[in-house]
Amino acid sequence: NGKLEDVYFNFVYQPYLEADETISGITIIAYEVTGQVIVKKALEAQYEAEKIAVRKIKVSEERFRQLVLQAPVAICVMLGENFLIKTINQKMADVWGRTIVEAINKPVFELLPEVSTQGYKELLESVYKTGERYVSEESLVNFNRNGKLENVFVKFVYEPFINAEGAVSGVMCLGHEITEQVNERKKIEKNEQRFQGAIAAVQGILWTNSASGEMIGEQLAWASLTGQSYEEYQGFGWASAIHPDDAQPTIDAWNEAVSEGKNFIFEHRVRLKNGNWGIFSVRAIPSLDSEGAIQEWIGVHTDITEQRQTENALKSAFHQLEEAKSKAEAAAQIAEDAVKAKQQFLSNMSHEIRTPMNSIIGFTNVVLKTDLNTKQKEYINAIKVSGDALLVLINDILDLAKVDAGKMTFEQIPFNLITSISSMIQVFENKLQEKNLNLVSEYDLSIPEVLEGDPMRLRQIILNLISNAVKFSAKGKITLSVSLLKEDIENVTLEFAVKDTGIGICEDKIDHVFDNFRQVADDNTRLYGGTGLGLAIVKQLVESQGGSVNVQSKIDIGSTFSFILSFKKTTTTTPLAVTSSLTTSPLSIKNVKVLIVEDIALNQLLMKTILIDFGFEFDFANNGKIAIEKLKNDTYDIILMDLQMPEMNGFEATEYIRNVMKSQIPIIALTADVTSVDVEKCKAFGMNDYISKPIDEKLLYIKIVKYLNV
């Protein structure tokens, strides 16, 4: 068309073949592709333009990301309806208590489930849907930091995030944590409150002075306290309200504090508006400017008049108390000496009374074993009954003294309770027949067979109660019952009760039945006998073991005395009992040689008689020193050791035998002093056991058998 145009062709060149397939020329085929080339170039240009645009977007996004990361405030961009975290900087991660790696590309409420219930879900949805920014006030948010919810104060701005098309595609959050600032502000507010409260609490008089220490301006509190006029207290005029004896010392100390800029602490008397003098504690501190220079002095006068008066009264009372204390200590010492003297007296009396009683009761038992006519037996039995009664009285008095002195000890050994109960009932068979009374027992079979406790003291308690019931009952029956109150893995708690059909007790006397030397009426002592110590001892023995006693009674109907005690459970079996006939006992043993260490001839004779009856060989030593010599020259199976002897007593002898001779021969103490000697004391010195005088033959035999392991 008369116009030069660029035209694009594709050419195909092929050999031209004859019929015989020989090449005779070239065939040229041309295809115009101008349109295709133009389209291709247009597409390539568009692609390059798009690549440039993408690069620009990426650069822009990276620039935005870097700005976010380096921004001085916390920033986070959340996209879409799920508020996917697309961009977040370290400051925002710190506020949330998370890491950037944990947060990126994660929905915000999946990352922070704790805030979804605190109103933030609704807030973000509102900004996203309405496109309106939201500026928060100071708010408290609970963020989960390291598995622990923490209170975090924040202040944020929530902006709609606009994409390239101008549409809202998410929410951008900007802000910072202000927890530290809030806490600091609260501390300041709290300190201010404390300061105001302290001023109110001490009821002090607040005043201010100039940097030079002069009182300037109106000081209404000071004027109200002293009655001074404005003109009177200005400058150093305030000092005229100070007591003359205190004025100069106050001024000197004040001038020193002002010159050195240190706190002022003083105490002086101030003349009050009513003319009286009050005692005041004074404290003042300098108020400094930013450069450390004193601007003014702030002080407070606190009235301590009543405090000083109280202190003076207390000092006077203290001196009186010291005098009273001194007198009380002297009285206590006298009382303590009296108690010691009483204990020493009881110890001596125990020894002096039990020593002859040992012979009286011991030889009475010996004589009763011999052939006697009826009259002789009657007389000897009368001696035995009287001796036993006297021994019971002595034991009661000594037991009471032991409990009062806190020296009563209790064993913890296994025993068969039902066997013990049966043996107690047998004690009263003759007395019950004489008075035509019935004694029955009611025993809870769910109680464990073997318990651990002090069977001797339990026997003493129950025998006292049954004896009391027999004494005051003329007809009817007496019931001894044992009930299980409580049981656990280690212990049982039992209630023992002795019920009688006796004379009963008046209601106004019941509270006193456990008093020492007390019976329901004075004439009862003459009618029924007794010292009035039995129930007192029962109460002391029960309560000393952590138990309790109780009594219920009606006149002419009867009384019920009960007590509660706890015992340990045990799997240990109780030792075999020795039968009453020693000579025919299956445990009878022969070829036993006993060394008796005893200084009193009558006691030696009694022990000789008893041991002959046992079928034992024996030898005597008059004191511990002689006993040691005999042990060096002869062989013995067991030692029966008296304690109070001349030259060397039983304790000293035992220590020598154990520590010097290194002998483990069984040693049983025989003592008439039951006030200051017990089994623990004997064991502490190396003895195996002890028996109190008068000697119980059966108990002696049992213990010998026990320690010879027969």
Structural domains in the chain (count): 5
Sorting pLDDT into bands at 50, 70 and 90, what band is 200? low
- On average, the pLDDT of the chain sits at 83
| Mean local confidence (pLDDT), 561-574 | 88
When comparing pLDDT for 255 and 424, which is higher? Answer: 255
Q: Which comes out higher in pLDDT, residue 433 or 672?
A: 433
State the pTM of this model: 0.44
Structure tokens at 344: 């020493």
Residue 356 inside a domain? The answer is: no
Q: Does residue 400 lie in a domain region?
A: no
pLDDT in tens, 277-297: 999 999 999 988 878 888 888
Question: Which is more confident, 58 or 129?
Answer: 129
> Same domain, yes or no, for 153 and 286?
no
d(CA 350, CA 154) in angstroms, rounded, equals 88
The pLDDT, as a whole number, for residue 561 is 95
Query: Does the structure show a pLDDT above 60 at 450?
Result: yes
Q: Is residue 641 part of a domain?
A: yes
- CB contact at 8 A, 472 and 503: yes
Residue 661 sits in a domain whose CATH number is 3.40.50.2300
Task: Count the helices and strands in the chain (H runs, E runs).
Answer: 21, 24
**Is the model's pLDDT at 52 over the cut of 80?**
no
Q: What is the pLDDT of residue 405?
A: 65
Do 78 and 61 share a structural domain? no
Domain boundary, last residue among 127, 155, 183 = 183
How confident is the model over 601-612, as a mean pLDDT?
A: 89
353-379 b/e (C-beta count within 10 Å ≥ 16 → b): bbbebbbbbbbbbeeeeeeeeeeeeee
Based on the fold, state whether residues 489 and 620 are members of the same structural domain.
Answer: no
- Of 282-296, 521-535, 593-607, the range with the lowest mean pLDDT is 521-535
> Look-up: residue for tokens 């002002």?
258
Tell me whether residue 397 is in a domain: no
Same domain, 445 and 562: yes
Domain identity same for 629 and 702: yes
Q: Is the pLDDT of residue 299 over 50?
A: yes
Task: Judge if 214 and 293 occupy the same domain.
Answer: yes
Whether residue 486 has pLDDT greater than 90: yes
Q: In the structure, what pLDDT confidence band is assigned to residue 516 with cuts at 50, 70 and 90?
A: low
Q: Are residues 81 and 117 in the same domain?
A: yes
pLDDT-derived band at 567 (thresholds 50, 70, 90) equals very high
For residue 318, CA distances in Å to 312, 322, 324, 603 come to 10, 6, 9, 60
Q: What is the mean pLDDT of residues 41-49?
A: 75
Query: Which of 276-280, 571-575, 705-709 has maximum average pLDDT?
Result: 276-280
Residues 163 and 245 in one domain: no
Return the closest-CA partner of residue 697 out of 637, 640, 644: 640
Tens digit of each residue's pLDDT (9 = 90 or more) over 621-631? 999 999 999 99
Task: Summarize pLDDT for 127-163 with one digit per residue, the tens.
Answer: 999 999 888 877 777 766 667 777 778 788 888 998 8
Residues 426 and 515 in one domain: yes
The phi-psi region of residue 101 (left if phi > 0; otherwise alpha if psi is between -120 and 50; otherwise beta) is alpha
Q: Which strands sit side by side in the sheet containing 593-597, from one edge to the other?
A: 617-621, 593-597, 638-642, 667-671, 689-692
**Placement of tokens 């073997």 in the chain:** 450
- Domain span at residue 513? 409-569
- Residue 191 belongs to a domain: no
Beta strands in 117-272 (DSSP E): 134-135, 139-145, 148-162, 168-177, 205-210, 264-271
CA-nearest of 426, 417, 420, 399 to 534 is: 399
Q: Of 680, 608, 643, 667, which is closest to residue 350 (Cα–Cα)?
A: 643
Higher pLDDT, 491 or 377: 491
In a shared domain, residues 288 and 428:
no
Q: Is the pLDDT of residue 517 over 60?
A: no
User: Does some domain include residue 395?
Assistant: no
Q: Is 449 domain-assigned?
A: yes
Q: Is 608 part of any domain?
A: yes
Q: Given 569, 604, 629, which residue is the final one in a domain?
A: 569
575 Cβ contact partners less than 8 Å away, ≥ 6 residues apart: 706
| 429 shares its domain with 555 | yes
- Domain final residue pick, 537, 569, 601: 569
Our measurement of the distance from residue 38's CA atom to the centroid of its chain's CA atoms, rounded to an integer in Å, reads 98
Local structure of 622: helix, strand or coil: coil
The confidence band for 578, taking pLDDT boundaries of 50, 70 and 90, is very low
Can you tell me whether residue 693 is helix, strand or coil?
coil
* Rounded Cα–Cα distance for residues 410 and 24 (Å): 144
pLDDT at 321 over 70: yes
Report which of residues 483 and 33 the model is more confident about: 483
* pLDDT score of 475 more than 90: no
* Same domain? 38 vs 116: no
For the chain, what percent of residues have pLDDT higher than 90? 29
Query: Hey, what are 458's tokens?
Result: 């339990």
For residues 671-681, average pLDDT:
69
